[in-house]
Structure 1
Amino acid sequence: MTNIYQFQPESQIYDDASLWIARLDRGLSKEETEALRLWLDKSPKHRECLLEMADLWDRMDSLSMLAELFDPPAATKNRNRQRSVWAVAASVTALVCAIGLLAPAERWKTPAAEVQPLQTAAVTPNNVYETGIGAHSTVNLPDGTRMLLNTDTQVTVTYTDNERLLELKKGELHVEVAHDKQRPLRVMVGGKIVEAVGTAFNVYRKDDQNFDVIVTEGRVHVKPVADRLTIPTEVENLQELGRGEKLSVRASQPVEVKPIETAVISDRLSWRDGNVVFRGESLQNALDELSRYTPETFKVIDPRITDVRIAGLYKAGDIESLLLALKENFNIDHARTAGGVIELSLHQDNTNSD
Structure 2
Amino acid sequence: MNNIRQFSSKEDIQEQACLWVSRLDRGLHDEEKSQLDEWLTESNSHRQALLDAASLWDDMSVLNELSGLFPQSHTRGAKQHKGMAKQMMWGMAATFFVMAVALSVIVQRTWFESAPQFANISEKVQTGVGEQKNVVLADGSKLHLNTNSIVTVDFSSDARNIVLLRGEAHFEVAHDKQRPFSVTAGSNTVTAVGTAFNMQYVDDNAFELVVTEGKVLVKDRFSTSSNDLLFGKKSITEEGLLMFAGEKATVQGKVEARENLSQNDIDDDLAWQQGMIVFKGEPLEAVLAEIGRYTPMRFSISDESLRKRRVAGYFKVGDIDGLLSALKSSFSIEHERITENSIQLKAVKG
TM-score (norm 2): 0.61
Which runs of 5 or more residues in structure 2 are unaligned? 1-118
Instruction: Report how many residues are paired.
Output: 226
Does the CA-based 8 Å contact 2:249-2:255 persist in structure 1? no
2:172 is aligned with 1:170: no
What one-letter code is carried by the residue in structure 1 that aligns with 2:185?
V
Does the CA-based 8 Å contact 2:200-2:208 persist in structure 1? yes
1:254, distance to aligned residue in structure 2 (A) = 6.2
2:240 is aligned with 1:238: yes
1:159, distance to aligned residue in structure 2 (A) = 0.3
What one-letter code is carried by the residue in structure 1 that aligns with 2:321?
E
Does the CA-based 8 Å contact 1:136-1:274 persist in structure 2? no
Corresponding residue for residue 296 of structure 2: 295
Q: Hey, what's the Cα distance between the residues in 2 that align with 1:306 and 1:224?
A: 35
Q: Hey, what's the Cα distance between the residues in 2 that align with 1:153 and 1:228?
A: 28
Aligned-partner SS, 2:308: coil
Q: Deviations over 1:142-185 (max 9, x none)?
A: 21100000111100000011110110000000000000111110
**Residues 1:257 and 1:328: Cα distance change in structure 2 (over 3 Å):** closer
What one-letter code is carried by the residue in structure 1 that aligns with 2:259?
K
Q: Residue 181 of structure 2 is aligned with which of 178, 185, 192?
A: 185
Q: Hey, what's the Cα distance between the residues in 2 that align with 1:142 and 1:173?
A: 17
Does the CA-based 8 Å contact 2:125-2:151 persist in structure 1? yes
Q: Hey, what's the Cα distance between the residues in 1 that align with 2:332 and 2:218?
A: 46
Q: Residue 132 of structure 1 is aligned with which of 101, 120, 128?
A: 128
Q: CA RMSD in A?
A: 2.0
2:141 is aligned with 1:145: yes
Does the CA-based 8 Å contact 1:170-1:207 persist in structure 2? no
Q: Hey, what's the Cα distance between the residues in 1 that align with 2:239 and 2:340?
A: 45
Corresponding residue for residue 250 of structure 2: 248
Aligned-partner SS, 2:193: strand
Does the CA-based 8 Å contact 1:197-1:221 persist in structure 2? no
What one-letter code is carried by the residue in structure 2 that aligns with 1:311?
A
What one-letter code is carried by the residue in structure 2 that aligns with 1:220?
V
1:332, distance to aligned residue in structure 2 (A) = 2.0
Q: Hey, what's the Cα distance between the residues in 1 that align with 2:159 and 2:308?
A: 46
What one-letter code is carried by the residue in structure 2 that aligns with 1:170?
R
1:339, distance to aligned residue in structure 2 (A) = 7.7
If asked which structure has higher relative contact order (CA below 8 Å, sep 6+), I would say 1
Corresponding residue for residue 259 of structure 2: 258
Corresponding residue for residue 24 of structure 1: none
Does the CA-based 8 Å contact 2:131-2:147 persist in structure 1? yes
Corresponding residue for residue 284 of structure 1: 285
**Aligned 1:17-32 pairs, distance under 5 A:** none
What one-letter code is carried by the residue in structure 1 that aligns with 2:157?
D
Corresponding residue for residue 196 of structure 1: 192
Larger radius of gyration: 2
**Residues 1:223 and 1:317: Cα distance change in structure 2 (over 3 Å):** same
Q: Hey, what's the Cα distance between the residues in 1 that align with 2:239 and 2:207?
A: 17
**Residues 1:142 and 1:189: Cα distance change in structure 2 (over 3 Å):** same
1:137, distance to aligned residue in structure 2 (A) = 1.6
Q: Hey, what's the Cα distance between the residues in 2 that align with 1:273 and 1:203?
A: 17
Structure 1 runs of 4+ aligned residues shifted over 6 Å read: none
Which runs of 5 or more residues in structure 1 are unaligned? 1-122
2:212 is aligned with 1:219: no
Corresponding residue for residue 329 of structure 1: 330
